[in-house]
């Protein structure tokens, strides 16, 4: 209890040093929990979670291929669009590699505007529908999966209902908010669009819902589109059943812009299978202006990109935090112990053992550090998830058990090391310096050392007096000896013990 009381008194007496130690410990433990959680989550996201993805593979125009595309030349469609025969070749090549996959279909073609629906004008505005196929684009999805992988961007229905892929909503269509506002259209209205090759052939559709995009438009498919039909706000979405069965637009006999732009999306079982599939398709003769891409894998990589950036920051910040914290705490402990020579000496003189005093110094180190470490670690553990979500684009970084144990063991180890450093100041304290002989005339430059020795000697004398030491009080024999030194006996006569005195008396006689 005595040691504990003294340790607490020393901690309270050094307020600023204690406060600094608490703040540094809080920061290190909190930062360690959060940083290790981020690194662990990033490893998982790029490891097991990535390997568990089922990529969707599509064949699409490269950036250069899209730039070379001539949207005003019907002959370009005949020469460059992929057909059912092409996709059959690619699927056969994938099966030859032993790959298993599922597929879904997206088809589109341009359609002409009418009095009931006018396209949002884009580009120079002097395009000819006979050359471009129309000002609007009709796009059909076979399944919801195909709709979610829309190459012009994901969308959400803000009014009305989603598409029915089973044909339960005959000729239902989705139009963009911009297109609806431009034409004053509402859910339930009927619109008419014209065939890309024959203006006299029209198709009636019912507005089933109104959608809005949830992301930015790809380059050349927004307000910067060269043609109105390439502006994604002019896209009309329908089900594949409506496109192929009710309107009869999925045909092999079409020419020019009446040739459907077919896009079959394959779903693979793993990223490794996707890589094998991409190689097999290229080897099977995929045109140079096309590439194999995975919208789902790209979306996943984009979702973890902020997490990767945060992890990269943590890889630099954590070592800096650990090294800086260790240096500051070590400096606090060492500077505090080194300035306590007189305190250590006084304690040892009055009978406090080195072991007891060393234990006191260790407790002084642990008292501010351990509570701060626990509080910081708990705060970091509970805050890692929401803090990671805020800094990593919504990707939560929950603390794993391995990270918790790493922080605990390393934190406890650091506390033990610092306590041992403090204890060593007592263990190696030179006892001889307490009882060294005082120099009356201290050499130049050693006045401070002599003064210190004086203090030590005075302290030792005081302690001896208090203990009743024999050497501190003169006894009667000492008094008699002192009298002899004066040349007289105790009765006042000459001290006959001195040989010279005896001789003088003998000569006088």
Mean pLDDT of all residues in 326-335: 89
DSSP 8-56: HHHHHHSHHHHHHHHHHHHHHHHHHHHHHHHHHHHHHHHTHHHHT---E
Cβ atoms of 377 and 435 closer than 8 Å: no
**Using one digit for the tens of pLDDT, what is the confidence trace for 34-61?**
999 999 999 999 999 999 999 999 998 8
Task: Name the pairing type of β-strands 102-111 and 136-141.
Answer: antiparallel
Which segment of 61-65, 70-74, 326-330, 458-462 scores lowest on mean pLDDT? 458-462
Per-residue pLDDT tens digits for 87-129: 999 999 999 999 999 999 999 999 999 999 999 988 766 678 8
Tens digits of residue pLDDT in 213-251: 998 888 888 888 888 999 999 999 999 999 999 999 988
Q: Are 467 and 457 in contact (CB under 8 A)?
A: no
CA distance 274 to 56: 8
Residue 476: predicted pLDDT: 40
The answer to whether 138 and 47 are in contact (CB under 8 A) is: no
Please give the pLDDT value at position 1: 64
Token code pair at residue 183: 């034409």
Work out the average pLDDT over 362-385: 89
pLDDT digits (tens, 9 = 90+) for 382-410: 988 888 888 887 777 888 888 889 899 99
Does residue 259 sit in helix, strand or coil? coil
Cα(202)–Cα(193) distance, integer angstroms: 6
CB 479 within 8 A of CB 472: no
Q: Which residues pair with 209 in a beta bridge?
A: 160, 174
Euclidean distance between CA atoms 265 and 261, whole angstroms: 13
Indicate whether 327 pLDDT > 50. yes
Residue predicted with more confidence, 469 or 170: 170
Radius of gyration of the chain measured on its C-alpha atoms: 46
The residues, ordered by sequence, that sit 6+ positions from 188 with a Cβ below 8 Å of its Cβ are 206, 207
Residues 487-494 have a mean pLDDT of: 41
Can you tell me the distance from the alpha carbon of 141 to that of 154, in angstroms, rounded to the nearest whole number? 13
Compute CA distances 47 → 16, 33, 40, 53, whole Å.
46, 21, 10, 10
Average pLDDT over residues 346-356: 77
Does residue 483 carry a pLDDT above 60? no
Task: Return the pLDDT at 167.
Answer: 80
> Residue 471 pLDDT more than 90?
no
The predicted pLDDT at position 495 comes to 43
What is the C-alpha end-to-end distance of the chain, expressed in Å? 79
Q: 111 or 351: whose pLDDT is higher? A: 111
Residues 280-300: tens digit of each pLDDT: 999 999 999 999 999 889 889
Distances (CA, A) of 66 to 61, 63, 288, 290, 437: 6, 5, 12, 9, 96
Give the span between the Cα atoms of 501 and 492, in whole angstroms.
15
Q: Say if residues 122 and 231 touch (Cβ distance below 8 Å).
A: yes
Task: Single out the residue of 31, 33, 1, 20 nearest to residue 368, CA to CA.
Answer: 20
User: What per-residue confidence (pLDDT) applies to 2?
Assistant: 64
- For every residue of 351-417, DSSP letters joined together read T--HHHHHHHHHHHHHHHHHHHHHHHHHHHHHHHHHHHHHHTTT---PPPHHHHHHHHHHHHHHHHH
pLDDT at 221: 86
Q: What is the pLDDT of residue 433?
A: 63
Instruction: Return d(Cα 170, Cα 161) in angstroms, integer.
Output: 13
C-alpha distance from residue 286 to each of 74, 80, 281, 289, 417 (Å): 21, 11, 6, 8, 65
The whole-number pLDDT of residue 499 equals 40
Residue 437 to residue 453: CA distance in whole angstroms? 7
Domain spans of the chain, in order of start = 2-48+304-429, 71-293, 431-471, 474-509
Report, as an integer, the average pLDDT of 183-187: 95
352-381 burial: b if 16+ Cβ within 10 Å, else e: bebeebbbbbbbbbbbbbeebbeebbeebb
pLDDT tens track for 251-276? 877 788 888 999 999 999 999 999 99
């Amino acid at each position: 209890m005595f040691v504990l009381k003294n340790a607490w008194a020393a901690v309270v007496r050094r307020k600023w040093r204690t406060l600094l130690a608490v703040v540094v410990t809080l920061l290190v433990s909190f930062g360690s929990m959060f940083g290790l959680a981020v690194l662990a989550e990033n490893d998982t996201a790029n490891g097991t979670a990535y390997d568990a993805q089922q990529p969707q593979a599509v064949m699409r125009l490269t950036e250069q291929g899209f730039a070379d595309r001539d949207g005003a030349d019907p002959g370009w469609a005949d020469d460059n669009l992929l057909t059912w025969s092409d996709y059959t070749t690619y699927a056969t090549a994938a099966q030859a590699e032993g790959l298993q996959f599922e597929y879904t279909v997206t088809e589109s073609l341009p359609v002409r505007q009418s009095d009931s629906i006018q396209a949002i004008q884009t580009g120079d505005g002097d395009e000819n529908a006979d050359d471009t196929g129309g000002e609007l684009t009709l796009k059909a999805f076979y399944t919801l999966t195909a709709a979610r992988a829309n190459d012009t961007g994901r969308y959400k229905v803000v009014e009305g209902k989603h598409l029915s892929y089973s044909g339960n909503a005959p000729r239902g269509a989705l139009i963009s908010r911009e297109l609806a506002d431009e034409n004053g259209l509402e859910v339930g209205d009927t619109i008419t669009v014209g065939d890309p090759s024959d203006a006299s052939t029209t198709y009636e559709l019912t507005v089933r819902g109104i959608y809005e995009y949830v992301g930015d438009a790809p380059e050349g498919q927004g307000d910067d589109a060269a043609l109105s039909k390439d502006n994604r706000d002019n896209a009309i979405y329908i089900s594949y059943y409506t496109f192929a069965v009710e309107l009869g637009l999925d045909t092999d006999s079409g020419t020019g812009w009446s040739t459907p732009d077919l896009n079959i999306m394959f779903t693979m079982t793993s990223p490794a299978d996707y890589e094998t599939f991409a190689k097999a398709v290229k080897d099977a003769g995929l045109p140079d202006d096309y590439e194999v891409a995975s919208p789902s894998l790209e979306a996943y990589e984009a979702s973890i990109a902020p997490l990767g950036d945060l992890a990269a920051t943590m890889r630099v910040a954590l070592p800096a935090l650990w090294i800086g914290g260790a240096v500051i705490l070590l400096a606090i402990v060492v500077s505090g112990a080194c300035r306590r020579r007189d305190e250590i000496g006084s304690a040892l003189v009055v009978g406090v053992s080195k072991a007891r005093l060393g234990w006191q110094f260790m407790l002084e180190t642990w008292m501010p550090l351990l509570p701060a470490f626990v509080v910081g670690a708990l705060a970091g553990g509970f805050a890692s998830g929401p803090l990671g979500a805020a800094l990593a684009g919504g990707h939560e970084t929950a603390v794993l058990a391995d990270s918790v144990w790493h922080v605990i063991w390393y934190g406890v180890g650091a506390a033990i090391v610092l306590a041992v450093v403090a204890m060593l100041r007592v263990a190696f304290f030179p006892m001889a310096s307490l009882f060294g002989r005082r120099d009356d005339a201290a050499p130049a430059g050693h006045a401070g050392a002599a003064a210190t020795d004086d203090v030590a000697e005075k302290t030792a004398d005081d302690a001896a007096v208090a203990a009743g030491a024999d050497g501190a009080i003169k006894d009667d024999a000492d008094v008699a000896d002192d009298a002899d030194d004066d040349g007289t006996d105790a009765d006042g006569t000459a001290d006959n013990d001195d040989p010279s005195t005896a001789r003088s008396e003998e000569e006088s006689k």
